[in-house]
Amino acid sequence: MISQRRAMLFPILFLLSFALLARSCKSDKVSPVETKVKAIDSITAFQSELYKNRLDSLFKKTPFNGMVSIQKGDQLLYERFVGLEDFEKKTKLDSASVFAIASLSKQFTAALILQLVDQKKLAVQDSVSKFLPDFRTPELKFITIHQLLTHTSGLNDYANHLSFKPGAHYLYSNKGYNTLGQIIETVGQSPYEAQLQTLFNKAGMPNSFAASNFKETFASAHTGTLPNPSKVPNMPLRLAKPEIGLAAGGLLSTARDLHRWNQSLYGGEILSGNSLQALTKPSVDTENYILGKVHYGYGLMSSKYPPKSFYHTGYVKGSASLLIYYPTSKTSVVILCNSVNERLGKKQIFAVHQQVKEFTELVEHSLNGILLKRTKVEIK
């Protein structure tokens, strides 16, 4: 896999370098600062062209009903909507389409917890039993908020007993994140939805919602084969039920709002520096069923290998999502879909998501190499 990536990396690196060189050679009698700005603009323009050529080609040969959007800072590099928002009315997907984002919801829950930390209302090493009476049993009383955030509490989504001693292992748990939602309500003294809305407002996300109070047009989830899939019933309200839960996977959003979230979160507008570091710091190593070996922090995964990135997958019946952020270039990637063929299995359901991620990594790796070379030359 690594050798394949290297093989793909060289032509991309060459093309980006060529674009930079060609633009630089055209610069006559301009200041070094102006030359640098123009060079960076050339790279950005060429990145956009690379994404268009590669991803447009991907959609021609891979079944997909959804959207992909890539944004660097405030600049949109690529955006493509493929297919329908409503298969019955034949309405097309667009920038206003609201999707179920599934487990992308977990990073919002983690952020709400860390805002309470910033307000000195709790600490991540606090025992859950301090806030929730149901956890004052001999088996549960030693579970900490940190363990809920990192899926190391031992709580099992399919059983009423712990799967292991708290802190001993990793087991992905929606139950753990819904417990965090209860803590947020108890400590924040208001419903989860109300505190979530305040967070959305702070991040500048006007088209994001909790599934429990959503009344707008929705890119509902579907299963089966294209072009005539079956609509998943009772969406999005089913996301608010205990089987999934708002805090674990019941939020709705648009691509543009998720870009705003990435830029505001990693730009330091949501959390203190210490809390942002805690959110992204690797706490455990695990194997993601789609993305392979990853670090897991608080509601976020991070890359084990360059380029540095933070991300999370999301899946509920009929909807698959992936949100990525590359901090070096401040690039945000959003992939959302509202129709999946569950018979193909998770690997195939996330085929487009995985291929987009691999290509953005190659482009990021190439760009980082070019900028590093430029920095070394300027230092000399």
Three-class SS state of 287? strand
Beta strands in 254-348 (DSSP E): 284-288, 292-296, 301-302, 310-316, 319-326, 331-337, 339-340
Is the four-CA dihedral 240, 297, 155, 195 of positive or negative sign?
negative
**Interatomic CA distance for residues 360 and 50, integer angstroms:** 10
State residue 376's pLDDT score.
40
**Interatomic CA distance for residues 222 and 213, integer angstroms:** 21
**Do the bridges between strand 284-288 and strand 292-296 make them parallel or antiparallel, or are there none, so unpaired?**
antiparallel
**Interatomic CA distance for residues 288 and 132, integer angstroms:** 30
Burial 186-198 (b: 16+ CB within 10 A, else e): ebbeebbbebbbe
- The first and second tokens of residue 74, run together, are 């405030």
State residue 42's pLDDT score.
74
C-alpha distance from residue 132 to each of 60, 143, 145, 180, 313 (Å):
51, 11, 11, 10, 29
Q: Mean of the per-residue pLDDT values for the chain?
A: 89
Contact 65, 54 (CB under 8 A): no
**Residue-wise pLDDT tens digits, 235-286:** 999 999 999 999 999 999 999 999 999 999 999 999 999 999 999 999 999 9
For the chain, the straight-line distance linking the first and the last C-alpha, in angstroms and rounded, comes to: 36
Q: Residue 20 — very low, low, confident or very high, per pLDDT cuts 50/70/90?
A: very low
pTM: 0.89
In the chain, DSSP finds a helix count (H) and a strand count (E) of 11, 16
**Residue-wise pLDDT tens digits, 27-74:** 445 555 454 445 457 778 888 999 999 999 999 988 999 999 999 999
27-31, 231-235, 376-380: least confident range: 376-380
Residue 377 identity = V
For the residues of 24-88, what is the DSSP string, one character each? Answer: HHT--S--HHHHHHHHHHHHHHHHHHHHHHHHHHHHHHS---EEEEEEETTEEEEEEEESEEETT
Residue 121 identity = K
**Interatomic CA distance for residues 34 and 38, integer angstroms:** 6
Query: Domain limits of the chain?
Result: 1-61+352-380, 67-349
State residue 162's pLDDT score.
97
**Interatomic CA distance for residues 314 and 108, integer angstroms:** 13
State residue 82's pLDDT score.
96
**Interatomic CA distance for residues 266 and 66, integer angstroms:** 26
Q: CATH number of the domain at 67-349, please?
A: 3.40.710.10
Contact 112, 251 (CB under 8 A): no
pLDDT above 70 covers a percentage of the chain that reads 86
**Residue-wise pLDDT tens digits, 171-227:** 999 999 999 999 999 999 999 999 999 999 999 999 999 999 898 889 999 999 998
Beta partners for residue 210, in sequence order: 251
